[in-house]
Structures are given as structure tokens and as C-alpha cells.
Structure 1
Amino acid sequence: MADTTETLEDRLSRIHRALSDEQFDAVDDVLGDLEPAEIALLLESLPPAARIQLWERVPGEVDGEVLLHVHDEVRSTLLDDMDHAEIVAATSSLDTTDLAEIFEDLPQQVAEDMLRSMDELQRNRLQETLSFEEDSAGRLMRTDTIAVRADVSLETVRRFLRWKETVPDNTHSLMVVDRNGFFVGVLPLARLVSNDPEMAVADLMDDEVDGIQVTMHSREVATLFQTHDLVSAPVVDEAGLLLGRIVIDDIVDVIRENSEQALMNMAGLDEEEDLFAPVMPSAKRRAVWLGINLLTAFLAAWVIGRFEDALDKIVALAVLMPIVASMGGIAGSQTLTLAIRGLALGQISRTNSSWLLRKEIGIAALNGVLWSLVVAVLAVLWFGSIGIGIIIATALVINMLAAGVAGIIIPLMLKRSGIDPALSGSVILTTVTDVVGFMAFLGLATLFLL
């Protein structure tokens, strides 16, 4: 177990010094104290050359677990550094669920050889897992489930467990099925060991537990675990046949990945992007969203150009113009962030979206009036024109109201269109607040000051 008082930065410094000085024994000492997930984090935090050096020092027995914990793009670079035999050795110790997570990243020849080397049961389990959608419960579930029948006694179950000698990791309950394998409930291990062995499983099982549909999206599964404080849950097909189980360890990974995805999407980035990826691939990925942003910037510039005469005659308009757009953008971003979070958590629906819209309009109106008065006073003191003060105050209220409405409407529309609001919502919102802000401010100035 690693020293919990040592920070990632400290470990990186030690690794860098040891690699630079070719003190490989010191590198091995650091790696020997770390869990696979911690090694994965170190690998993701190193530039390419140092990353490969460190990867070559990672003990072979944990290679598979480390590959499982790194992001896809980093995993690809590590696999490229391994030969056929090394990849097979690293992945052979992974269970079906874990192997399925990285199987499609393996070189084709390696994947084919692994399938041929498996027995029929392993091969069928892997192919069944791969048949499910990537972000579904089927990809998360473990097939090492212990199932017992409801009509047997606790003593029979105990004898069965003694015969097996071991139980799968993170087993807190046994799944209960009928004679045909359909899920009917769970038997907590605490009840199994603390009650009369002659009692039937049916008398002690919890039959109010619902199975998770194998096709359910992983985000919905994570929400169920969070809202019901689950540590494990059964997975069933449409007919109710027990297929496997999902445990909290896997859900923690889902929650982390979803958080990273939301954060990266808001900047138009790929959540799997390697921080230390080569310049050209990274530049290509980011260029797309920069191009889209450029188009929206030209739209705002076109609006400004329509009021060229007003800007030529009243210089104060050019000075104050960014204030209107900036205030609207900030207000809209606040609303947009709350809306995206609410959609992700399932808190926003058709039944409450109109109420939420009215609330945001009210907030925008109050803040708009408050800050428009402040800006109006400052504008009058600065330029000595009451007209400019009134116009910028009015434009500010209009833009903040538009921002509040857009911050709710945009993510709802994107969600219904099947587009991730976190990915494109901010670009659209910025366009709306810029165009509305400039048009309101410059339009009012043209009408009343010229």
C-alpha cells in the first residue's frame, strides 16, 4: 500500500528523477508500493517518452489491471509498445467484464488468438458481453453471480458455499431465482449466517429488489445506485431472467467517467484525450470547435457591422458594448450549467421545465434590473450622457432575460434532438447572448441617439 501522505506530484518528481538518473531500482521501489489504479494515474501524468520508460518497469502481473484503468488513448500508446505475447499475458488474468472493456482496443491478431485459447464457456460469455451496447448495464455486469433457489433451506445454501470454497469479490448478497432461472429476490449474507439453517430462502429473501434491465444506460444505472444506496444489484433481461450483477466498484468508475465527460464536453474536447498526446492529433481535434466558434463570432461581427454608422458617431457605444455581451454571457452560463446538471441527474422533465423557465426569467429580471442600474449610473458618470445610461440599462435587462431563457431552452432542445447539451450548449448560448446584446444595445442607440 502506498504512503497516503505522498501526493501525486511527489511521486511524479521521484519517478522523473529516477528515470533521468537511470536509477531503475528506485523506480521499481515506487511502483511496488502502488495499486494498479495509482500506476495508471502516474502513466497518464507523464510525457510519452517517460511514460514508455515507466511502463516497461511495471510488474507484468499487474499489466492487465493497469491497462484497464488508463484512458483509451493512453491505453493505445501502451499497447503499441507491447508485443503479441506480452499483450496476451497481460490480459489473460482479466475476468470477462474487464476483458470486454479493453478487448476492442487489442490488435486484431491478438484478439483472435485470445478467443481461440478460451474454452467455450469463456468465449460465449465474452461474446455475449460484447454484444451489448458500450454504455449499457450489460457491459458493466459481472457474470460470476452466485444464484440459489427460493425453495431450498439455508443449510443447503451453506453447504453449497462450502463446496465452492470461495465467493466472488464484492458479494454481499446471493441472487435468488426460481426453477427456470428468473430473478425473484436477494438473500443478504448476514441473514444467511444469522438465522436458523432449517429456514427456507423464500422466508428470508428480500423480494422487493428490482432487477436492472440489461439494456439500461450506464448513467441511469449509476443514478439508481446513488439514489438507493446500492452496493450491488442484479441484472436481468426483458423477461426477468437473471444474467449477472453490477457492483459499486464499477459504478464509481462510471460516475468518474461521466464527470470527466461533462467537463471536457463543455470545452468541446474529447474526454479520452491524452493530456500528453502529440501536437498534430490534439490540434486537429480542437480545430473543429474553434472553427464552429469562429462562425458564431462572424455572426456577432455581422450584427455589429449593421450599426457601423452609430459606432462612428458615438465612440462610447464601442467602449460599453462588451459589458452588455459579457453580463449576458455570464448569466446564461450560470443557467446553462444548472440545466445541464439537472438533465444529467434526471431532475428536469416536461412537467417541471416550464416552472424552471419562469424561475430563471424571474432571476434574470431581478439581476438585470439591479446591475443595469449600477451600469447606468457608471455610464452617466463616465460619459456624461443620461441617454447612454438609459440605453445600456435597457439593453442589459433585455440580454439577461434572453440569457435566462436560452440557458433553459437550449439544453432542453439539444436533449430532445439527441445531442449532448454539454458538448454544444455553450457555443449556441454565447452566440445568442452576443447577438441579442449587440442588437439591443446598438439598435436602441440608433433609434434614440442618432
Structure 2
Amino acid sequence: MAEHIEFDQAHLTLREVTEALENGRFVHVRRQLQDMEPEDIAHLLEASPRKSRDVLWQLTDPEDYGEILDELSEDVKDALVSKMAPERLAEATEGMDTDDLAYVLRSLPDGLSREILSQMDNVDRLRVEMALSYPEDTAGGLMNTDFVTIRGDVDVDVVLRYLRMRGELPQATDALYVIDEESRLIGHLSLASLLTSQPDVRISDIMEDADEAIQVDAKDSDVASLFERRNWVSAPVVNAEQHLLGRITIDDVVDVIREDVEHSMMSLAGMDDEEDTFAPVMKSARKRSIWLGANVLAALAAASVSNMFETTLEQMASIAVLMTIVPSMGGVAGNQTIALVIRGLALGHIGDSNKRELLLKEAAVGLLNGCLWALLIGGIVVLWKGNWLLGGIISAAMLTNLTVAGIAGVTIPIILKKMKIDPALAGGMALTTVTDVIGLFVFLGLATIFIA
């Protein structure tokens, strides 16, 4: 219920701001923006047309620029950053977490990034440069360097006094990291254990071993999977020598999960998950034309099969009426399988040890569904057209295509992943091409042999 109210409130704010801008009530809009959280302003910017977006950005408090930029999609962020003076952008990045600042700097031109880095103090610059040295899709690219370390040879009272002197803990801190003289991670101590232990207890006696630290080169998808399985709030990041480099927090992992979902959803339509909803017409048309061109080739492949049996189609109109059923059913069945396999690949459930069993299982599912729908559709055709031979032909084609769809739904994404091609992007189109070609070829081929 609370989520529904918040969602309605977001739409209400968008409508109010749009009406206020149209009526020239800029002071009112500025006041509204001052009362909003940075993430809500980012949502408002992405939901606004480009002209309104530019005005909103000018009315936003510059102190919030950094946090807002971190929440924006890449296309929207680039459009706003391109209109900002370098010194204003440098001011906007002050106070940002290391990982958030690295995310923003990665999308900027090299010259502008260097200029922003040059204006930082040495400690902050080294931290950001270290984050930038790791690929964006790894634990090193996700981590931030804001964490608290302690020694194992002190007691609880010393640590508590140290924390009181420190005054403030980094956001999402649920544990303190125990290191040795060479900054190697040897354990971690939860805040709950710290607060409930006796003051004279040594840290080494109550800490937990650091056996679940994340390697700095781990893939971000693997990190997200670990957080999901272990219910972590934060986790330390180490290198091969076990030196503590940073930590990853749950808010960064949520961003990874969200981006993966958006990527899979948009890739199924052949689109960029970072594309601006209100991008310029020519830019959107150019991006989508590439995918449409690929689909034209797939459609031409299916059409060429139909053209091979042109004489058969001319002789019997019933075949032309029924010919779309078989490839359509195969496409639906195959897409069900391919969605299951893509999810399994993303979650790490599918590997060399079990892909054969998955292939046999999906082939069996395709065969079983093929038998069921072959009998059902074949019977409908016999009752509809009064032609037992035609009913048998479409049944045979249906059985074949649904079985092939199950096999292709497993093999295509696995092969694409081995070829370093995103299965979510190309898998659906490849599968549709296979089921269309096989379905039409079998149906029209049998019709040519037995009827024409």
C-alpha cells in the first residue's frame, strides 16, 4: 500500500512540475525540487521531456548535482554533463563516494575526467584512480574505500572509544574489518557482536574469519549472486594477497541487479538499456534500425522457404491459411525455453556439468507438448477442413517444430554465450528464425509430397 501511494505521489509531482513549468512558475518549481531527495529528482528528470529537463536541471540546487548524476541513466547523464562547465562539474562531484564518483567519471571525456581529478586532494585522487583502474563490471569497479578497520590485538573497550572519537560511521556499515600490520584482512567483527561483548574481551576472540571476502576481479553478477544467497549488507574486497582494498554495500548490488534486469528486458527488443526515454528522434531511429535490419534478414529467410513451395501454395488455399500456425507455436515454445535458459545462465545455474541434462529435459518437454498440440490442432483441422491427410501433415509438422524449439531454446543461448554474444540480445531472433524456417519447411514439404 505504501509503495502504491509513493508511486502515485511521483506521478503527481511530475504533473505538478510540468504544469508549473508551462505556466512559468519557476520559483515554485525550485522550492519543490529543494524538498525532494536526489534520487527522486533523478526520476523526475528521466521522466521529463528534454526541454523541461534542461530547465529542471538549471533550477536544481548545484549541491545535489553529484548525487543526482549518480542515479541517472547514461544517456540522460551524458546529455546534462555535456552542458556543464568543467569547474561546475568538479564542484558537483565533491563529497561523492569513491565508487559513485568513478561511475560518473567513466562516462566523461578523458580531458574532463583528468581535470576533475586534478582538483582533488592526493588521498581522494588516489582512491578514485584505484577504482577507475578496475573494469566497471567487476568487484573493483563496484567497491568504495570508505570503511573502518581495527586491529585484532586490542579489546572491545578500545574499539568503542575509537568509534566515539571518530564520531560517524560510513553508510551501510554493519561490520568492522580486522587487519594485520600489512593491511591483510584477517577477519571481521559485526557491530552487534561489538556492542554485546564485554569491554575487556579481545577482538581476536570474537571476530569471524575472513573466509568470505570478495576477490577484486570477481564479476559484478557473481557479487550480486553472493549478496542474494548470503543476505549480506556489505562485504570486504581483497586482492590475491588478501590485502583489504575496499567494500561493497547492498545499495551498489541493488543497482547491479536492476541494471541486469533492464538490460535483459531491453535486449529482448534489441535496444540499449541506457537509452533515454525522451532521446532525439533521429538518434532513437538510428539505433533501432540496426535491429530492424537484422529482423528483415530473419524474415527473408522464412519467406525464402515459403517461396520454395510456391506451386503447392497456389494449388491449395487451405495450406496458405494454416501455414502460420506451426512456426507461431514453435516460436512461443522456444521463447519459453530460451527465457528459462537465459535466467539460468545469469544466475550461474547452468554449466558444463548439467547442460546435457537440461537439453534432454527440454527436448522431452518439447516432445510431450508436441504430441499434445499435434493431436489437438490436427483434430481441429480435420473437423474444420474435413481433410484427414492435411490434419496428419500439420500434426507431424507441429510435433517436429515443438521438439526442435525445445532443443534450440537450450543450445542457442549456450552457444551465443560461448561466442561472447549476449543471449538476451540475439537469442530470441535466432530462435524465431530457426522455428520459422523448420516449421514452414516441414509443413510445406510434407504438403508438397502428399497433397500437391
Same fold (TM over 0.5): yes
The question of whether the paired residues in 1 share the 8 Å contact of 2:86 and 2:115 is answered with no
| Alpha-carbon distance in 1 for matches of 2:117, 2:389 | 77
* 1:107 Cα deviation after fit: 4.6
- Cα deviation per residue 1:266-312 (whole Å; 9 max; x = unaligned)? 11111111111011111111111111111111111111111111111
How do 1:103-118 residues align onto structure 2 when only pairs under 5 Å count? 103-118=105-120
Q: Does 1:228 align with 2:238?
A: no
The question of whether the paired residues in 2 share the 8 Å contact of 1:88 and 1:110 is answered with no
Secondary structure (helix, strand or coil) at the match of 1:8 reads helix
| Alpha-carbon distance in 2 for matches of 1:417, 1:107 | 31
Alignment size in residue pairs: 449
Secondary structure (helix, strand or coil) at the match of 1:4 reads helix
| Alpha-carbon distance in 2 for matches of 1:248, 1:125 | 20
Gap runs ≥5 in structure 1: none
**What's 2:16 paired with?**
14
| Alpha-carbon distance in 2 for matches of 1:114, 1:306 | 63
**What's 2:191 paired with?**
189
Q: Does 1:32 align with 2:34?
A: yes
The question of whether the paired residues in 2 share the 8 Å contact of 1:211 and 1:234 is answered with yes
From 340, 348, 351, the counterpart of 1:349: 351
| Alpha-carbon distance in 2 for matches of 1:393, 1:87 | 65
How has the CA–CA distance of structure 1 residues 378 and 5 changed in structure 2, closer, same or farther, with 3 Å as cutoff? closer
Q: Give the aligned residue type for 2:16.
A: R
* 1:9 Cα deviation after fit: 2.2
From 221, 239, 242, the counterpart of 1:240: 242
Q: Give the aligned residue type for 1:221.
A: V
* 1:77 Cα deviation after fit: 1.0
How do 1:61-100 residues align onto structure 2 when only pairs under 5 Å count? 61-100=63-102
- Cα deviation per residue 1:112-136 (whole Å; 9 max; x = unaligned)? 3322222221111111110001111
Q: Give the aligned residue type for 1:32.
A: Q
| Alpha-carbon distance in 1 for matches of 2:107, 2:408 | 40
Q: Give the aligned residue type for 1:95.
A: D
* 1:353 Cα deviation after fit: 1.5
* 1:108 Cα deviation after fit: 4.4
**What's 1:426 paired with?**
428
**What's 2:414 paired with?**
412
| Alpha-carbon distance in 2 for matches of 1:348, 1:49 | 46
> Deviating runs (4+, > 6 A) in structure 1?
none
The question of whether the paired residues in 1 share the 8 Å contact of 2:263 and 2:273 is answered with yes
Q: Give the aligned residue type for 2:359.
A: L
Secondary structure (helix, strand or coil) at the match of 1:244 reads strand
TM-score in terms of structure 1 length: 0.97
Gap runs ≥5 in structure 2: none
The question of whether the paired residues in 1 share the 8 Å contact of 2:151 and 2:178 is answered with yes
**What's 1:281 paired with?**
283
| Alpha-carbon distance in 2 for matches of 1:98, 1:5 | 26
* 1:209 Cα deviation after fit: 3.9
Q: Give the aligned residue type for 1:213.
A: Q
How has the CA–CA distance of structure 1 residues 208 and 87 changed in structure 2, closer, same or farther, with 3 Å as cutoff? closer
| Alpha-carbon distance in 2 for matches of 1:417, 1:399 | 25
| Alpha-carbon distance in 1 for matches of 2:350, 2:252 | 26
| Alpha-carbon distance in 2 for matches of 1:216, 1:273 | 27
**What's 2:333 paired with?**
331
- Cα deviation per residue 1:81-118 (whole Å; 9 max; x = unaligned)? 32233212211231322111111333545433322222
How do 1:87-236 residues align onto structure 2 when only pairs under 5 Å count? 87-207=89-209, 209-236=211-238
| Alpha-carbon distance in 1 for matches of 2:434, 2:330 | 9
Q: Does 1:397 align with 2:399?
A: yes
Secondary structure (helix, strand or coil) at the match of 1:350 reads coil
- Cα deviation per residue 1:7-37 (whole Å; 9 max; x = unaligned)? 3322221111011001123312432332111
The question of whether the paired residues in 2 share the 8 Å contact of 1:18 and 1:24 is answered with yes
The question of whether the paired residues in 1 share the 8 Å contact of 2:362 and 2:407 is answered with yes
| Alpha-carbon distance in 2 for matches of 1:106, 1:286 | 25
Q: Give the aligned residue type for 2:362.
A: E
Q: Give the aligned residue type for 2:271.
A: L
The question of whether the paired residues in 2 share the 8 Å contact of 1:191 and 1:204 is answered with yes
Q: Give the aligned residue type for 2:250.
A: I
* 1:416 Cα deviation after fit: 1.6
| Alpha-carbon distance in 1 for matches of 2:114, 2:420 | 35
* 1:409 Cα deviation after fit: 0.7
| Alpha-carbon distance in 1 for matches of 2:20, 2:432 | 47
The question of whether the paired residues in 1 share the 8 Å contact of 2:90 and 2:119 is answered with no
* 1:144 Cα deviation after fit: 1.3
- Cα deviation per residue 1:206-251 (whole Å; 9 max; x = unaligned)? 1154110001111110000000100010000011111111111111
How has the CA–CA distance of structure 1 residues 7 and 386 changed in structure 2, closer, same or farther, with 3 Å as cutoff? farther
Secondary structure (helix, strand or coil) at the match of 2:248 reads strand
Cα RMSD between the aligned structures? 1.5
| Alpha-carbon distance in 2 for matches of 1:354, 1:219 | 24
Q: Which has the higher mean CA deviation after the structures are superposed, 22-31 or 337-346?
A: 22-31
| Alpha-carbon distance in 1 for matches of 2:114, 2:381 | 72
The question of whether the paired residues in 2 share the 8 Å contact of 1:186 and 1:209 is answered with no
The question of whether the paired residues in 2 share the 8 Å contact of 1:52 and 1:81 is answered with no
TM-score in terms of structure 2 length: 0.96
* 1:162 Cα deviation after fit: 2.4
Secondary structure (helix, strand or coil) at the match of 1:88 reads helix
Q: Does 1:253 align with 2:249?
A: no
Q: Which has the higher mean CA deviation after the structures are superposed, 324-333 or 11-20?
A: 11-20
Secondary structure (helix, strand or coil) at the match of 2:329 reads helix
